[in-house]
Amino acid sequence: MNLLCRSYIKENAIVLTTPKRNKLLKDGPESESLMSNRCHILGRGSYGIVFKAIFREHAVALKIIKKRAILTLHNEAHALNWNHRNIVRIIKLESTPEFGLIIMERSNGFCLQRVVDTLALPLMHRLFIVLDVLAALRYCHGRHVLHLDVKPGNILIALDNQNNCSNRSYICKLCDFGCSLKLNESSDSSNTNGTTTKGTLRYMSPEALRSAPLSCASDMYSLGITMWQLQSRRPPYYTLTCNETIAYQVVKHQLRPDNYARLKELQLSSNYTKNPPLSSCYCANSVELICSYINQVNPQLDLYKKARRQLNFETSHGRVNKRSTKQQKQNKQPKLSHYFYNQPTVSATSLESAYSDLYRSCWISQAELRLNSFKLQQRLELILHKCLSN
C-alpha cells in the first residue's frame, strides 16, 4: 500500500477499490464497514450522504444515492467529465437498482451557505463569487444544459493558493447537477418542452413553478435570488413557512424576496388561517402539485411529506466539533473572515444600489426580459473595476 493510501486511511477516507464500490452499491450508506470505521462524512441529505474518499490515488468526494433518488444520476451524468475551474468535476457514476455512487473532485473549502450564515461578505467578494458562478452557468448553457438549482448550498468556496487574483485566495465551484436538464437540441435551443422539474422552490423561476418551458433565463432567475441572499444574508421569503403560499405569490403576484412590506402582510395573514402553515421546507418534490395550487384547481396545504435537503460541503473540515458553541463561534469567524477581508470604501458603499439593480433585472417575471449572462457579466465587471480602483 502506497503512502497516499495510508494517509487517507488515517483520516478515515474510503479507498474506492472495485470490491469496495461493489459492496457500497449493494449495501449503500448503511454499509457495516462505513459505520464501523466512522468514515468522515462531508454532507447529508434526504437522498444520500457524501463521504471523504480516495479513488485512483486522488482525493475525492463520494456521494451515495438512495434508491428512491436513482433517477437523479441521469441528471448528474450531464456534467460527467466536464473540466471547468468553476464546476465541481464529476469523475465517475455507478448504479444498481438499490443504490448509486457519484465520485467527484474534493476541494479544501467551505459551502457558500456556511459563509453567508457566518459573516457579511464585502461587495468585492460578492462580485467575485457571482462572476465565478456565472462562468460556470455559461459553460453549462454552452453545452445545452440547465442547472436548475443554483443557490448558496450548491456553491463551494474552494481555497486556492495558486489563484492569479491578488485580491482573493479562493475560487467558486458550482455543484449538484441532480436537478439539471438537457435542452432539447431537436427544437429551439433556447427552450425546453413543458416538463416536470425539481429544484429548490424558493429559488425557482415562475416558469419552473408553472411547469412551463424553461430556458437559460431560468438559471439567471435563481442566480438573481442568490445575489440578493449574499447581500441580505437571509433565506428567500424568510418570514413565510408555507411553500405553497410562496409559489402562488411568486407566480400570480410577482412576489420577490426584497418586498419586505408584502412579506410582512403575508406573515400576519398566515397567523389567522384555519390550517396552520407547514414547517419550513425548501424544495418542490412535485411541481404538478404546486401548479394545481397556483391554478386554484385543488389548493391544499398538506402537499409535502418531507423536505429535500441538498447535500453540501459545510462540514468538510475535520470531524464533528464537540467543543462548546461559544468556542466554535470564536474559532470559526476569524477562519472565514480571513479569506474575505476587504477594506470598505465610500465608493463600494455607493455601488450597492447598482448591485441591487442587477439582481432585480435577473428575476423579472418575463424570462425574455431578464438580464442575460453576457450583459450581467459586463455590468458585474464594471462594478468590480470601480471597487478595485479605490
Break the chain into its structural domains and give their ranges.
3-106, 110-388
Would you list the DSSP string of 81-124? T---TTBPPEEEEEE-SSEEEEEEE--SEEEHHHHHHH-PPPHH
Q: Where are the beta strands (DSSP E) in 81-237?
A: 90-95, 99-105, 109-111, 145-146, 155-159, 170-174, 181-182, 199-200
pTM of the model: 0.81
What is the chain's pLDDT, residue by residue, as a tens digit (390 residues)? Answer: 454 455 445 567 889 999 999 988 888 877 655 655 556 788 776 677 888 999 998 899 999 988 778 778 889 999 999 999 999 999 999 988 889 999 999 988 889 999 999 999 999 999 999 999 999 999 999 999 999 999 999 999 998 756 666 688 899 999 999 999 998 744 444 445 545 567 899 999 999 999 999 999 999 999 999 999 999 999 999 999 999 999 999 999 999 999 999 999 999 887 655 444 433 333 444 445 445 545 543 333 333 333 334 444 444 433 334 444 555 555 544 477 888 887 666 666 789 999 999 999 999 999 999 999 999 999 999 999 998 886
Q: What is the number of other CB atoms lying within 10 angstroms of the CB of residue 202?
A: 24
Rounded Cα distance, 286 and 305, in Å: 11
Buried/exposed code over 371-389 (b: 16+ C-beta within 10 A; e: otherwise): bebeebbebbeebbebbee
Rounded Cα distance, 163 and 362, in Å: 29
- Whats the size of the chain, residue-wise? 390
What CATH code is assigned to 110-388?
A: 1.10.510.10
Place of cell 448550498: 153
Query: CA angle, 206 as apex, 204 and 210 as ends, to 5°?
Result: 100
At 104, phi and psi to the nearest 5?
-140, 165
Specify the CATH class of 3-106 in words: alpha beta
